[in-house]
Structure 1
Amino acid sequence: MRYVTLTDVFVHPIAQKYLKRSGVAHAIATAYHAYRLALKHGVNVDLATKAALLHDIGHYEWYSNGKWDYEQYKQNDIHAIKGAERAHKLLIRLGEHPQNAKEIALAILLHTDSYLPECELKRKPLQAIIKLADEADEEPGGRHHYRKIDDALALKKVKQLDELVGKQLEQERLDEII
């Protein structure tokens, strides 16, 4: 059962604020990668696409002398921690099932190793998919955060992905019955 759609999440003012900061085009592309990877690996497509859409909403803008400072970002960023918190709060506010909100937040928390001390981390499948989906859309120097997409096209793409997710969940429900 879906409690909250991707569109519900995407159009919320809080999501819009932070998605625009971290890159709407990147968030949507990552959500599509997550959908494909979730299908391939038998992971819940609803949770995967929501986590991927929201994975970077914790970004802080690191600027020096009015310009994006990628090195400062790489050295000091903890966006996954802040993003997990923001996503959890937003999803709960929208009416997402608390367990789903927690799983999505944990996937966001663990989508990058950039803030973790060196260690070997064993990710659950959803968490691994979000990391892979993000990496699939990365560009050198963080340029993937600055690709532009028209607002109307962004909403259209989110609605299309929402439809794919809904159809997949319905198919899985029917497969369980049969």
Structure 2
Amino acid sequence: MREITLTQIFEHPIAQKYLKRSGVAHAVAVSYHAFRLAVQHQVNPDLATKAALLHDIGHYEWYTDGKWDYEKYKKNDIHAIKGAERAHKLLIRLGENPQAAKEIALAILLHTDSYLPDGELHQRPLQKVVRLADEADEEPGGNHHYREMDDQLALKKIQELDEKVAEFLNTEPFRQLG
């Protein structure tokens, strides 16, 4: 059972603020990758698409002399930490199941290891799906954050993805997972 939809998340003013900062087109694309990968890896697509949509809402704008500074970002950024906290708070506020909100927040926290000391990170399946979905949409120099997408098209794509998730949750293969 879905407590809240991607559309409800997407339309919330807090999500809008941070999605616009980190790139709506990237968030939508990663959500679609997450749906495909969730089905492939037998992970709950509701949790995966929500985590993917919100995975970069912790981004801070790293600028030097008014221009995006990718090197400063790579050196100093902890967006996954801030994003996990923002996402958890937003999801709880919207009425998401608390355990689902926690799983989504953990997937956001662990979607990148750029802020961790060197070493291997053991990820659970949901966390791995979100990381792979993000990697599938990356562009050199962080350019994936600057692709444009019209607000109406983004909303339409999110609504279509909501329908795909709902349909999949009603299939026999998903019921066997649960």
TM-score normalised by structure 2 residue count? 0.97
Alignment of 1:7-156 (within 5 A): 7-156=7-156
Amino acid of the residue matched to residue 73 of structure 2? Y
The answer to whether the 8 Å contact 2:168/2:174 transfers is no
Q: Spell out, residue by residue over 1:10-61, the C-alpha distance to the aligned partner (whole angstroms, 9 max, x if none).
A: 0000000000000000000000000000000100000000000000000000
Task: Tell me by how many angstroms 1:172 deviates.
Answer: 4.0
TM-score normalised by structure 1 residue count? 0.97
Amino acid of the residue matched to residue 12 of structure 1? H
Uncovered stretches (5+) of structure 2, i.e. residues with no partner: none
Task: Tell me by how many angstroms 1:171 deviates.
Answer: 1.5
Identify the residue that residue 161 of structure 2 maps to in structure 1: 161
Q: Distance in 2 between matches of 1:9 and 1:41?
A: 24
Uncovered stretches (5+) of structure 1, i.e. residues with no partner: none
Root-mean-square deviation (Å): 1.1
Amino acid of the residue matched to residue 93 of structure 1? R
Q: Distance in 2 between matches of 1:135 and 1:174?
A: 25
Amino acid of the residue matched to residue 115 of structure 1? Y
C-alpha spacing 1:92/1:64, structure 2 compared with 1 (3 Å): same
Task: Tell me by how many angstroms 1:174 deviates.
Answer: 8.3
The answer to whether the 8 Å contact 2:169/2:175 transfers is no
Amino acid of the residue matched to residue 150 of structure 1? D
C-alpha spacing 1:175/1:63, structure 2 compared with 1 (3 Å): closer
**Number of aligned residues:** 176
Amino acid of the residue matched to residue 112 of structure 2? T
C-alpha spacing 1:85/1:174, structure 2 compared with 1 (3 Å): closer
Task: Tell me by how many angstroms 1:175 deviates.
Answer: 4.8
Among all aligned residue pairs of Structure 1 and Structure 2, give the percentage whose two residues are the same amino acid: 74
Q: Distance in 1 between matches of 2:37 and 2:94?
A: 26
Q: Secondary structure of 1:106's match?
A: helix
Task: Tell me by how many angstroms 1:104 deviates.
Answer: 0.2
